[in-house]
Amino acid sequence: MTSKEKKGLEQWVDFHSGSAEESKMMKGIWEATGVYKSSFQPDVNKEFSRYKAKTGHSGAVIASMKPWLILLKVAAAAAILVFAVLLYKYSLDASGKMDNITAGKGVSKSFLLSDGSSVSINENTRLHFPANFSGADRRVQLTGEAFFQVTKDATHPFVVETPQAEIQVLGTSFNVREYPNEGVTEVFVKTGKVAVTKKTTGERHFLLAGDKLTIETATNAAIISKDNRGNSLAWKNGRLVFDEKPIDEILKSVERLYHVHFEFESKTLHNCLLNITFDASHMNDALKSFEVACPGIRIRPSGRGGYTVVGKCCE
Amino acid sequence: MAVALSNELPDENLLALLTQDSERAMELIFRQYYIFVCRSITRILPHGHVAEDLAQDVFHDLWKKRDSLIIKSSLTAYLRRAAVNKTLNFIRDRKIKWDDEPALETTTNAVPNARQYLEAQELRELIDRTIDGLPERCRLVFTLSRFEEMTYQEIANDLGISIKTVENQMSKALRILKAVLAPVLQSS
Task: Give B105's pLDDT tier (boundaries 50, 70, 90).
Answer: very low
Sequence ranges of the domains in chain B = 11-93, 111-187
What is the tens place of the pLDDT at every residue in B90-101? Answer: 887 765 555 444
Inform me whether the pLDDT recorded for A258 exceeds 60.
yes
When pLDDT is averaged across residues A255-259 and rounded to a whole number, the result is: 81
* Predicted local confidence at residue B181, as pLDDT: 87
Among chain B residues, CA nearest to A4: B149
Cβ contact B128–A39 (<8 Å): yes
Predicted confidence (pLDDT) at residue A84 exceeds the cutoff of 90: no
Say if residue A173's pLDDT is above 50. yes
Residue B95: what pLDDT? 55
Strand order in the sheet with A297-303: A261-264, A306-311, A297-303
d(CA B168, CA A284): 71
- Residue A116: pLDDT over 70: yes
Average pLDDT over residues A99-104: 85
Q: Which residues 6+ apart lie within 8 Å of B82 measured at CB? A: B37, B58, B61, B62
Query: Band of the pLDDT at A187, cuts 50, 70, 90?
Result: very high
Residue B120: the pLDDT is 66
Question: Residue A94 above 80 pLDDT?
Answer: no
Question: Burial level of A283, CB count in 10 A (0-12/13-18/19+)?
Answer: middle
Mean pLDDT over each residue of chain A, to the nearest integer: 80
**pLDDT grade, residue B167 (50/70/90)?**
very high
Pick the CATH number of B11-93 from 1.10.3720.10, 3.30.420.40, 1.10.4030.10, 1.10.1740.10: 1.10.1740.10
pLDDT at B4: 36
DSSP A150: P
Q: How confident is the model at residue A91 (pLDDT cuts 50, 70, 90)?
A: very low
Give residue A283's pLDDT: 77
Reported as a pLDDT band with limits 50, 70 and 90, residue A35 is confident
The domain ranges of chain A are 1-26, 57-94, 100-226, 238-311
Q: Using one digit for the tens of pLDDT, what is the confidence trace for A197-212?
A: 988 888 888 898 899 9
In tens, the pLDDT along A8-21 reads: 999 999 999 888 88
pLDDT of residue A69: 42
pLDDT for A229: 82
Predicted pLDDT at A247: 83
Contact between chains at B27 and A35 (C-beta distance less than 8 A): no
Closest by CA position to B131, among listed B104, B149, B156, B161: B104
* CA B37/CA B52 separation, integer angstroms: 9
Q: Are A159 and A168 in contact (CB under 8 A)?
A: yes
**A242 pLDDT above the threshold of 90:** no
Reported as a single tens digit per residue, the pLDDT across A63-80 is: 333 334 434 444 544 454
Residue B108 confidence (pLDDT): 39
Helix (H) / strand (E) containing A193: strand A193-198
Question: What fold does the segment set B111-187 form as a domain?
Answer: Arc Repressor Mutant, subunit A (1.10.10)
B163 band by pLDDT with thresholds 50, 70 and 90: very high
Residue A86 has pLDDT above 80, yes or no: no
Nearest CA in chain A to B188: A28
pLDDT (average), residues A183-209: 90
* pLDDT for the residue B71: 74
CB contact under 8 A, A40 and B42: yes
Q: Which of A274, A179, A55, A292 is nearest to B29 (CA)?
A: A55
Architecture (CATH level 2) of domain A238-311: 3-Layer(bab) Sandwich (3.55)
Considering only CB atoms, which residues of chain A are within 8 Å of chain B? Answer: 2, 4-5, 7-8, 11-12, 15-16, 25-26, 28-30, 32-33, 35-42, 44, 47-48, 50-51, 54-55, 57-60, 62-63, 66, 69, 135-136
The answer to which of A50-59, A205-214, B6-15 has the lowest mean pLDDT is: B6-15
- Indicate the residue of B23, B48, B151 with minimum beta-carbon distance to A40: B48
Contact (CB<8Å) B171/A39 = no
pLDDT at A53 over 70: yes
- Domains B11-93 and B111-187 are alike in CATH topology: no
Q: How far apart are CA A69 and CA A55, in angstroms?
A: 21
| A/B interface, count of CB pairs below 8 Å | 123
For residue A303, the Cα-to-chain-centroid distance in whole angstroms is 33
At B144-157, the pLDDT tens digits run 999 988 899 999 99
Of the pLDDT bands very low, low, confident and very high (cuts 50, 70, 90), residue B115 is very low
Shortest Cα distance, chain A CAs vs residue B26, angstroms = 9
pLDDT at B161 over 60: yes
The CATH architecture assigned to A100-226 reads Sandwich (2.60)
Q: Using an 8 Å CB-CB cutoff, list chain A residues near B145.
A: 8, 11-12
